[in-house]
Each structure stands twice: as C-alpha cells, then as structure tokens.
Chain A
C-alpha cells in the first residue's frame, strides 16, 4: 500500500512540475502569471501535507483505542 502511495505521489509531483513548465511557456507572454499559480499550488500542497500529517496521527490514535478495547 505504502509503495503504491509513494509512486502515486511521485507521478502527481511530476505532472505538476511538467504542467508548470508548460504554463511557463504559454503564460510567459501574459506577464508571469505562472508565478501566482505556483505560489497558490505551494500553499495548497502545504495544507495537504498538514492534512496527511493529521490523518496519520488520527490513524494511530484510532488503532490505539481499538486495540485497547
């Protein structure tokens, strides 16, 4: 499971990066708007990272409760 998640994340990162490359070319003439897209995506990834962190903690808490019962 972990292995597949890792591969999926790699594919996602790769697609984001290549999309940014494309955006760079097509949006450059319209004045560096790709920088704003990049910043917003960075913030979104940060929030997602927090969600994953919290979810993993919750998972272990759930496990603990279930085991003790």
Chain B
C-alpha cells in the first residue's frame, strides 16, 4: 500500500477538482442589454438581463457607463423586474466627450452583489463632436463607491459563461500529456544509455498514455469549441494546428515501431525517434503559438494562460491542483500498461 499513496492522492485531487470546479458559483454578470445603441440627447429606459443575481423588488442598484477614467454617465433610476431582470434609465447629454460613435462598458453595483460589468455593452452615438464643450457641460453626479463582497466565485465571462469550468478538465489534459511525454523521453534516453528492455517498455507505455491524453485534449477542446466558437474544429486557430501536428508525430512513433522486425533495433530506433518527437513538440506547443498575432485561445500574441485576466486567483485555486491530479492519474494509467507489458514479456520468454 505504501507504494501506492500517490494514486490515492491523484484520486483525491481529481475529486476535489471536479467538486470544487463544478460547485463554486460564477460571479454575477450582465447577459444582455435590450437597447444597446443610444443616440445623444435622449432619455431612454432599457431592460437589462443579468446572470446569477438575486435582486428583490425595491433593491437599489447603481449603474453607469464608463466614458473614460474620469467621466461616467450614471443611470438616473433603476427598477427591479425580477431576480435577474431590471430596467435602467439614462439621461444622455446632447454632447459626448468622444468621437461620433463608441462602445462603453456598463458597470452595475449594489450592496448584495458588489460591482460587475460588461465591456462594450452600450454604443453611444452623436452627430457633432465637441469634446471640450461636452466636458464642461457634463452633468455633476455623486460617485458611487464600488464595494466588493466577500466569497469565492469564478469570473463571469461573456461567451464562456459556465463553461469556464472546463479550464480544470480540458487544459490539464495537455499539461499531463507534456509531463507524461517528458517522462517517456527520459526513459528513451535511459534506454540508449543502457539497453534494458524495461526502459523501452516504460517509454512505450508512457507514450501511449501521452497520445491518449492528447486525443482527449483535442476531443474535449472540440466539444468546448462547438459551444463557444461555434465549430468543432478550425484550421484558423494556431494551437489546434500545432497540437494536431504534434499528435501526428507521436502517432508515427507507433507506426515506426510496428515497421521494424528486430526487437533490439526497434527499441533503439524508437528511443531515438521519441527524443526527436519531444524536442519537436516543445517548440510546436510552446513557441509557435506565442509568435502568432491572434489566437482564440487565451493570451493571444503574447504569453498565454498564466497572466492577467484570463486566470484569476479563484480559478488558480482549482486549476493548479487539477493539473497535479490529472498528471498523477495519467501516470497511474501508464504504470498499469507498463506492468502488463512487463508481464507479457516475461510470459513470452518463459514459454518460448
């Protein structure tokens, strides 16, 4: 039992990732603004649909359009319709400190939910541009304090919504794949240094599980893409292309193995190829996507993933353990395969 503690750990962490990943609620958010294009000089009342809110009739909700860092346009009144629907009124001045047409962020704040926003939510249009006059005649309003509420909640992102939770299931497949294939490469090097067949079996088993993880990464990504990007697969997206190439390289590993008759030669050539495959995969997965200007994956044209708004601390709390959990779990699968292959080799030697 002592040898197997890491498997129990893997199961516990994966269970944690599934439970915490599914049960922690999303922050409130703004789903839809009925009238999103507004002309200057109008008094308008528009319906706003929100997500994960629990408004009660009579609650006071403040809302404003963020014109720039200093200038805000506050709503003149709000009326709650139900727990996720309210009406906001805006008295838009005739002159706006902007170009003819611009999209503004809508910020809403109340005591129960704290502040939340939707970028590019409302388009304000004006006929004539006079920024100085607009600023001097801007209505004076009292600032509303943005009081945050406590509690762990995942970020609300338009388009993603609840599927942001797939960060804990889709992404760790790729992380686990990289760790597994790294281990496979290490065993391949070990085999070349000392040709013990158990090293070759370990490299082969690890590579098989690595390929399984890669395929699962593609399939789960495909499911996620269908619901958010609207397509199962697109060749416009760099990460999809490079991961497909990386997987093909690893498919070739098994084709190569089956093409060579002599066992020792097979193991040696496969080890060399495995090292090549890993070395080829690293730039494909970690360098090429960073060189491309735009990508649908987070962190386009820069450092993906770990920075900024794409991964906040509440997500990290589940995401990092999920990587460790799925990786350990994958090593368990690889170990089962390894033990089987070892056993088969023994049986074949004995009966031959």
Interface positions of A (Cβ within 8 A of B):
30-36, 38-40, 42-43, 46-47, 49-50, 54, 57-58, 61, 64-65, 68
Contacts and interface: CB of A to CB of B under 8 A. Distances in A.
Given A36-B22, A39-B169, A40-B169, A31 B220 contact: no
B344 interface: yes
A57 B204 CA distance: 15
Contacts of A61: 340, 343-344, 347
A42 B219 contact: yes
Contacts of A64: 347-348, 351
B336 interface: yes
B347 to A, nearest CB: 6
A65 B349 CA distance: 12
B80 interface: no
A23 to B, nearest CB: 11
A39 B212 contact: no
A36 B216 contact: no
Interface string B296-310: 000000000000000
Interface of A is mostly: helix
A43 B311 CA distance: 22
B132 interface: no
29 contacts: A30-B162, A31-B51, A31-B161, A32-B161, A32-B228, A35-B163, A35-B223, A35-B224, A35-B226, A35-B227, A35-B228, A36-B22, A36-B162, A36-B166, A38-B223, A39-B166, A39-B220, A39-B224, A40-B169, A42-B220, A42-B223, A43-B216, A47-B333, A50-B333, A54-B336, A61-B344, A61-B347, A64-B347, A65-B347
Given A32-B228, A38-B223, A54-B340, 14 more contacts: A31-B163, A32-B227, A33-B163, A34-B227, A35-B223, A36-B165, A39-B169, A39-B223, A42-B216, A43-B169, A43-B173, A54-B336, A61-B344, A61-B347
B249 interface: no
Contacts of B333: 47, 50
Contacts of B239: none
A46 B169 CA distance: 13
Interface of B: 18, 22, 26, 51, 160-163, 165-166, 169-170, 173, 209, 212, 215-216, 219-220, 223-224, 226-228, 333, 336-337, 340, 343-344, 347-348, 351
B166 A35 contact: yes
A26 to B, nearest CB: 14
A13 B341 CA distance: 30
A54 B161 CA distance: 38
A40 B209 CA distance: 18
A15 B333 CA distance: 28
Of A30, A50, A58, A68, the most chain B CB neighbours within 10 A belong to: A50
Contacts of A58: 340
A32 B163 contact: yes
Nearest to B333: A50
Contacts of B163: 31-33, 35-36
B340 A46 contact: no
B344 A68 contact: no
A31 B26 contact: yes
